[in-house]
Amino acid sequence: MNEKQIHEILKEKLKVDNISNDMNLRDDFNTDSIGLLEIVMELEDAYDIEVDDSSLQNFKTVGDVVNYFVGNDD
């Protein structure tokens, strides 16, 4: 799994054409906690990685999500 693959999933879920790691999930995309959970669940399924609740709360930016999933790709 790499950054580009995660960006593609995020763009599809957020219904946007462009995305960058510094974008804030809540502010730039108006994503609420349910929307964030749906995104994370799709990434969990796609990459067979389970995100614990404490990590989920740390996902503020696109980069936070990318770093978590790339860093836990074993």
| Residues identified as active-site | 32
61 neighbors 24 (Cβ within 8 angstroms): yes
